[in-house]
Amino acid sequence: MLYRGDVAMTTQPSLLDGLLGTEEACAADAHDGSSAPSLAPLADGLERHELSRGAWVDVRPGWVQPSQGLFEHLLADVPWRAERRQMYDREVDVPRLLCFYGEEAVLPHPLLARARDVLSAHYLPELGEPLRTAGLCLYRDGRDGVAWHGDRLGRSSREDTVVAIISLGAPRPLVLRPRGGGATALRVPVGHGDLLVMGGSCQRTWEHAVPKTARPVGPRVSVQLRPRGVR
């Protein structure tokens, strides 16, 4: 196990063994076959949800079609890492596996580079810069999740930005609420090639989460595309 500062990281291929339940894999195969994934036209079916204080969320269901082959490729080929995080006086497991691809890194599938370019072109008038990095997360089952937060490391703590998320595998709800608490205002189940994009002031004025669940759910991969200096 490697330790970098207070974060311990280790590659854990064994954690992936058996992640694709046979039921899930068969159901998906029946729909997707094994053909190469492609991107549906972005503007067809892209729906904007205006939130408060200049925040918005765009949703484009089924943007990647078919998505099962890409999902399986990422499950198998990404060097997933388990991280540990300091929480008060103890170190705890981060409940999901992670892999970050910086600006110069080759993404683990050419379709992700294509998606980044298409999204960069689409959002350029609003964002003024391209999307450059990719953070990948693997939620192995319902015990994995991410708590309420905004992506506020770096420029997104003070500037509007765009974070685009491609979801593969079993759908999980991505929930949003205004920063500082209150009821969930938006709940979007995302998986199987869906696209969700958070924009405007969303990272500063709203929070998002993928709640853990006791329901039996299969694995989900999230690909988050962000501009330079936003985490």
Ligand X SMILES: O=C(O)CCC(=O)C(=O)O
Nearer to ligand X, 35 or 86 (CB): 86
Nearer to ligand X, 69 or 150 (CB): 150
Nearer to ligand X, 39 or 209 (CB): 209
| Nearest residue to 173 via CA among 196, 205, 198 | 196
Binding ligand X (rule: CB under 6 A), the pick from 59, 162, 165, 230 is 165
Return the amino acid letter for 41: P
Contacts of 75 (CB under 8 A, 6+ apart): 16, 19, 20, 138, 169, 219, 221
SS3 57: strand
Nearer to ligand X, 64 or 137 (CB): 137
CA distances from 88 to 104, 122, 148, 181 (A): 34, 42, 18, 22
User: Does residue 146 interact with ligand X by CB under 6 A?
Assistant: yes
Q: Considering only residues 126-145, where is the footprint of ligand X by CB under 6 A?
A: 135, 137
Query: Do 84 and 91 meet the contact criterion of CB atoms below 8 Å apart?
Result: yes
Binding ligand X (rule: CB under 6 A), the pick from 222, 225, 227, 230 is 222
User: Does residue 225 interact with ligand X by CB under 6 A?
Assistant: no
Q: Which residue is nearest to ligand X (CB)?
A: 222
User: Does residue 151 interact with ligand X by CB under 6 A?
Assistant: yes
Query: Do 162 and 132 meet the contact criterion of CB atoms below 8 Å apart?
Result: no
Residues that bind ligand X (CB under 6 A): 135, 137, 146, 151, 165, 174, 208, 210, 222, 224
